[in-house]
Structure 1
Amino acid sequence: MEKFNELIKSEQPVLIDFFAEWCGPCKTMMPILDKVKESIGEKARIVKIDIDKFGELATEYRIQTVPTFIIFKDGEPLWRHSGLIAQKELISMLEKYI
């Protein structure tokens, strides 16, 4: 939990992907997130959080659907989306906060 709090306090945007191993749409998002990471490079971080392993974080951030994406910067959640999302849209949201 402490590491998570340190992570989201970054001045650099951090995209958190709350997912589950059993989630079909989460698996669909994996190659999309890889392409987003290639495009964004070091300007932002992308971190995957398994809700089954980190249930306390899922509860704290009221994750009811997976995948759920939240962009944090300086410890503040700036954007949130649940469900599938296009690569271009994710990139443009991250670039907004870079």
Structure 2
Amino acid sequence: MAIVNVSDQSFNNDVESSQGVVLVDFWAPWCGPCKAIAPILEELDGEVSGQATIAKVNVDENPESASRFGVMSIPTIIVFKDGQPVDKVVGLNSKDALKSLVAKHQ
């Protein structure tokens, strides 16, 4: 599966109406740790395919979604299960930590 780019307009459809686990990365192009986590998420996407969807929200272009879920610093990853936020991690995390996060909500 490919990583899904989500906007304020598509958030409900792409994330909140989804069944299963969706990892949403709130990021911005100017954020160093966000750039560092991008290849980790790409790798993770290949490893959790079928178990979880990975989505990205650019907070500069989509401030509504970020403020709705209380994103104060980036990167913030919020885990949604069946459309509901169930977990949140802030900052740069390892692939193993993110993989554990997916497994925890299977």
TM-score range normalised by the length of the shorter chain: over 0.9
For the residues of structure 2 that align with 1:39 and 1:26, how far apart are their CA atoms? Answer: 20
- Cα RMSD after superposing both structures: 1.2
Aligned-pair distance for 1:2? 5.1
- The alpha-carbon distance between structure 1 residues 3 and 84, as it changes in their structure 2 partners (threshold 3 A), is same
Residues 1:28 and 2:36 aligned together: yes
Cα deviations by residue, 1:19-55 (Å, 9 ceiling, x for unpaired): 0000000000011101111110122100110000001
Matching residue within 14, 35, 47 for 1:7 = 14
- Structure with more helix by fraction: 1
**Equivalent in the alignment of 2:74:** 66
**Equivalent in the alignment of 2:5:** none
TM-score (norm 2): 0.86
Which 5+ residue runs of structure 2 have no aligned equivalent?
1-7
Q: Secondary structure at the match of 2:10?
A: helix
For the residues of structure 1 that align with 2:9 and 2:62, how far apart are their CA atoms? Answer: 12
For the residues of structure 1 that align with 2:86 and 2:105, how far apart are their CA atoms? Answer: 8
Count of matched residue pairs: 98
1:1-98 aligned at under 5 Å gives the runs: 1=8, 3-8=10-15, 9-98=17-106
Q: Secondary structure at the match of 2:50?
A: helix
For the residues of structure 1 that align with 2:9 and 2:101, how far apart are their CA atoms? Answer: 26
